[in-house]
Amino acid sequence: MDDRLPLDWDQVEARAARGDTSYLRELGARLAGRREAAAEQAREYGRHLTHVVRVLALTRGRDSLTQLLRLLDEQASTGLHPRFVASLLAEHQEPAELAATVFDRSHTDRLDELRGCLFHELILRGVDVDDFRPLRTWTIVRPGWSALAWLPNQLRDMETAVDFPSRSLRGSARGGGSSLPAEGRMDPPTPRSSSRSTLQDVATTAVHTSIVAAPEAGDWGNHGAWVFRLDEAIAPEQVPALLPTLPMPCVDGLGPTARFEIAARPVDEIWRLLFATASMGGMYSQGVHGAYGRLWAWRSLAGLSGTAEGASAEDVERHASQSTWFHFEADAEWFHNDACTDYGIAALSPDRRRLAVLAATDTD
Give per-residue pLDDT as tens, 267-282: 999 999 999 999 999 9
Contact 340, 347 (CB under 8 A): no
Rounded to an integer, what distance in angstroms lies between the CA atom of residue 208 and that of residue 349? 16
> Does residue 340 register a pLDDT over 80?
no
Phi-psi region of 161 (alpha: psi -120 to 50; beta: other; left: phi over 0): left
Query: What average pLDDT does range 245-255 have in this prediction?
Result: 96
* Confidence band of 1 (pLDDT split at 50, 70, 90): low
Alpha helices in 219-264 (DSSP H): 239-242
* Confidence band of 344 (pLDDT split at 50, 70, 90): very high
* Confidence band of 318 (pLDDT split at 50, 70, 90): very high
Q: What is the pLDDT of residue 144?
A: 86
Query: What average pLDDT does range 236-261 have in this prediction?
Result: 97
**Distance set, CA 296 to CA 108, 132, 215 (Å):** 29, 26, 9
pTM for the whole structure: 0.92
* Residue with more model confidence, 237 or 364: 237
β-partners of residue 329 are 261
> Does residue 174 register a pLDDT over 80?
no
* Confidence band of 176 (pLDDT split at 50, 70, 90): low
* Confidence band of 183 (pLDDT split at 50, 70, 90): very high
Q: Could you tell me what percentage of the chain is helix, strand and coil, using 3-state DSSP and rounding each to the nearest 5?
A: 50, 10, 40
**Distance set, CA 48 to CA 64, 78, 236, 289 (Å):** 17, 11, 54, 21
Contact 190, 202 (CB under 8 A): no
Q: What is the pLDDT of residue 105?
A: 78
Comparing 31-35, 51-55, 142-146, which segment has the lowest mean pLDDT?
A: 142-146
Share the mean pLDDT of the chain.
Answer: 94
Q: What is the pLDDT of residue 5?
A: 56
Comparing 88-102, 164-178, 317-331, which segment has the lowest mean pLDDT?
A: 164-178
**Which tens digits make up the pLDDT trace of 46-80?**
999 999 999 999 999 999 999 999 999 998 777 78
